[in-house]
């Protein structure tokens, strides 16, 4: 099965674009467990902050990812960008939050509590899961995204910049993942060519360098697909 978690060394690294490219490269579904920053979209009619629960018949726990494949993303979400750039089958977010903040704080401001136990990945053979921000972003006051990754035991691809500061940020993220026994599949870089930074992270981090995605203009489905084919080996994601 080609199932991967996409996380980053921080915010605005390029995770969503890489996730879209990977979905297109391997024909994977996409799921983002928690999406924040939807203040202008009034995303949650009815019960504030939480989509209607979809229950897993086996466990009875909320399992938003088991809904039908015709899910249409809400505007200005990462899922909408994934749809634009890859056409991947989407699984709906478990939580949609209004404020552009870490999920734990965005949820608090809406007076709701995220249940990490309800964040169960969908049963898809080919799946790309995108976390929020960096490795240690809080889901709640007690659970970080890295803790979820450890529970899921799905291989993680760390998305990192090629620029200044990336060595420390990347090595810190890798140490945080390994301290929790998270399986690390490799590092994917986004940005201008910087062979020494990439090689240094690969060497000191004892991690596979999967490739580098350049910044694309225009950023469209065709240009992204071509860049992924040119810079990444599909066999690395089988």
Among the listed residues 3, 15, 32, 169, the single catalytic one is 32
Residue 140 φ/ψ region, left for φ over 0, alpha for ψ in the -120 to 50 degree band, beta for the rest = beta
Residue 57 CB partners (closer than 8 Å, separation 6+) = none
What is the spatial distance between Cα 88 and Cα 82, in angstroms, rounded to a whole number? 7
Nearest to 139 by CA among 108, 171, 173: 108
Active site residue 32: yes
Q: Is the peptide bond before 205 cis (omega within 30 degrees of 0)?
A: no
Q: What totals of helices (H) and strands (E) does the chain contain, helices first?
A: 7, 9
What positions carry a catalytic annotation?
32
């Amino acid at each position: 099965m080609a199932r991967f978690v996409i996380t980053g060394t921080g915010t605005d690294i390029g995770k969503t674009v890489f996730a879209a490219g990977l979905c297109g490269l391997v024909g994977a579904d996409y799921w983002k467990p928690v999406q924040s920053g939807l203040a202008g979209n009034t995303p949650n009619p009815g019960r504030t902050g939480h989509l209607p629960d979809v229950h897993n018949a086996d466990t009875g726990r909320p399992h938003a990812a088991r809904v039908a494949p015709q899910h249409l993303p809400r505007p200005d979400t990462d899922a909408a960008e994934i749809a634009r750039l890859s056409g991947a089958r989407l699984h709906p977010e478990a939580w949609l939050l209004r404020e552009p903040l870490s999920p734990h704080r965005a949820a608090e401001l809406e007076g709701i509590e995220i249940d990490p136990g309800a964040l169960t990945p969908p049963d898809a053979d080919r799946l790309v899961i995108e976390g929020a921000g960096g490795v240690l972003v809080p889901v709640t006051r007690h659970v970080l995204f890295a803790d979820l990754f450890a529970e899921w035991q799905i291989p993680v691809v760390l998305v990192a910049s090629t620029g200044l500061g990336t060595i420390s940020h990347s090595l810190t993220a890798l140490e945080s993942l390994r301290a929790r026994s998270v399986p690390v599949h490799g590092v994917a870089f986004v940005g201008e060519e910087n062979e020494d930074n990439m090689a240094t992270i690969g060497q000191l981090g004892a991690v596979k360098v999967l490739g580098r995605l350049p910044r694309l203009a225009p950023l469209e489905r065709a240009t992204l697909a071509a860049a992924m084919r040119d810079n990444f080996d599909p066999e690395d994601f089988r």
